[in-house]
Amino acid sequence: MGRILDQLRDTELGSVVDVLALGGPVVALLVVLSVVAVAVAIAKAVQFAGAGIGRHGRAREAIRLYERGDVDAALARASGSLSAAVIRFGIDAAERQDPAAARDGTESYAVLRLHQLRRYTGLLDTIAQISPLLGLFGTVLGMIEAFQALEGAGAAVDPSILAGGIWVALLTTAVGLAVAMPASVLASWFDGRIENEEVALGALVAELFNGVPTEDEALEAAGTAPRYQRPHAAPGGLTTVPR
């Protein structure tokens, strides 16, 4: 590692311009991808912080208030995070719709909000996958140029020139790996946070609606639900239901 740093100092790599000059267009493209990855990571971090990912205290408090029958307090409490917004949507829907329809609508709303969080996280994964390939591609091109120079030199071969051409070619692979590794870590981290939030939202929605009786349960509790009649066999062997 020390020898590599010494070689970099000898070639006066004092800025990104020097790296671009040595690596060529492949390194330039990798630098652009690194800038895109940093921009996406910052934007997603801000989005996650604003959505309150991982913070579910207000949502649970709103559910407890709703179970006690204090709808207004529950709606007022359900704010400040994604999970609280989903619970607020569910409480409002449960007050206006059939519980089954309200639960379906709440789950669809949660899926939509999670889809918004997933936007552009796939770009980080794409950068993580393509950067090493671009680096390898640049190395192959550099090796081809180095061996073409070796062939053109004929018998007067200078090993130092060949070695210099090879390490410059390998520079693109190093840059590609340097871009890919942080992008891969960030993509995995964001995906993990979204998966955890998805599980948490599913549990919160189930907790909210498990205490809400369905239409059939409400009718049965009121004594107006139609009684289930056990089918009996007709003489011909067919199953019929009494009218």
Q: Confidence class of residue 180 from pLDDT cuts 50, 70 and 90?
A: very high
Tens of pLDDT, residue by residue over 39-81, are 999 999 999 999 999 889 899 999 999 888 888 888 888 888 8
Residue 97 lies in a domain: yes
Do 149 and 161 touch, CB atoms closer than 8 A? Answer: yes
- Whether the pLDDT of residue 231 is over 50: the answer is no
State the average pLDDT over residues 71-94: 90
Average pLDDT, the chain: 78
Total structural domains in the chain? 1
Residue 128 lies in a domain: yes
Residue 28 lies in a domain: yes
Domain encompassing residue 51: 22-212
- At residue 200, the pLDDT reads 92
Q: Confidence class of residue 214 from pLDDT cuts 50, 70 and 90?
A: very low
Reading phi first (left if > 0) and then psi (alpha if -120 to 50, else beta), residue 30 is in alpha
Q: Confidence class of residue 22 from pLDDT cuts 50, 70 and 90?
A: low
Reading phi first (left if > 0) and then psi (alpha if -120 to 50, else beta), residue 69 is in left
Residue 88 lies in a domain: yes
